[in-house]
Amino acid sequence: MINLPITKMLFLDIETVGVEKDYDTCLEKRPQIAEQFKKYLDWFEKRFPEDKGKTINEIFSCRAALVPEFAKIVTISVAFVTDNDEIKTQTFSGEDESIVLKDSQKLLDRVGKLDFWLCGHNLKNFDIPMLAKRMVINGFLPPSILPSYDTKPWEIKAIDTKEIWQFGSYSSIGSLDLVCSTMDIPTPKGGEVTGDKVHDAYWNKGMLEEISKYCEKDVKVLIDFIRKLKNLR
């Protein structure tokens, strides 16, 4: 089902939060960004109808992390499998996004030269564009392993496990939690930190270490999923 050796995959996951704690803080510290966010309120409400009736602060706190222009990356976890079937992980995490991005840029540059492919869940629609855009916003050149604007679809060296699970149906559901539960793969979900609670955990509870551990567990889950697929008979 997947011909690429697992030892040539770099498993990746990122955790993002809103660029500020809430809209009011953003308006005070980054008025231009806040003004742009306000202009996109209708877009957020159409995409997330359940947010209708929420205040702008509430919408910012739960949705800003999903859009590169209004988010910041606080954790990047990567992992690979050695020839001896050992899992090696590295996590870049911190309050200063530019340091997190610079450190990860160095590793991604090295890995790209070794002809690795990225592997992640919803990688092409979220992690890759988020990582590339946040690097540009922070003044960094995205590493060559990330596709550029002129990269042709068949040239993208990325395996998206959400894409695999959809089997061509873009209307199907397929969160990593759901897929792993279905495939009987233990997941890090259900703890104090989950994807939809990262913003609150970071800004209100100072749980950066816990966020990092959660992110690192996610890349290990990705490895388990790929192993399951490779063992299909």
Say if 119 falls within a structural domain: yes
Say if 198 falls within a structural domain: yes
Q: Flag whether the pTM goes above 0.75.
A: yes
3-state secondary structure of 81: strand
Say if 1 falls within a structural domain: no
Say if 155 falls within a structural domain: yes
Helices 97-113 and 128-137: crossing angle in degrees, nearest 10, is: 120
Q: Quick one: pLDDT at residue 191? A: 63
The count of structural domains within the chain is 1
Q: Quick one: pLDDT at residue 197? A: 86
First to last CA, the chain: 10
**Residue 200 lies in domain:** 6-230
Q: What is the pLDDT of residues 131-163, one digit of tens each?
A: 999 999 999 999 989 988 888 888 889 999 999
pLDDT band at 13 (very low <50, low <70, confident <90, very high): very high
Say if 53 falls within a structural domain: yes
Say if 148 falls within a structural domain: yes
CATH of the domain at 57: 3.30.420.10
Asked if pLDDT for residue 170 goes beyond 60, the answer is yes
How far is Cα 96 from Cα 55, in angstroms, rounded to an integer?
Answer: 28
Say if 64 falls within a structural domain: yes
Q: What is the pLDDT of residues 61-94, one digit of tens each?
A: 999 999 999 999 999 999 999 999 999 999 999 9
3-state secondary structure of 74: strand
How far is Cα 102 from Cα 117, in angstroms, rounded to an integer?
Answer: 20
Say if 138 falls within a structural domain: yes
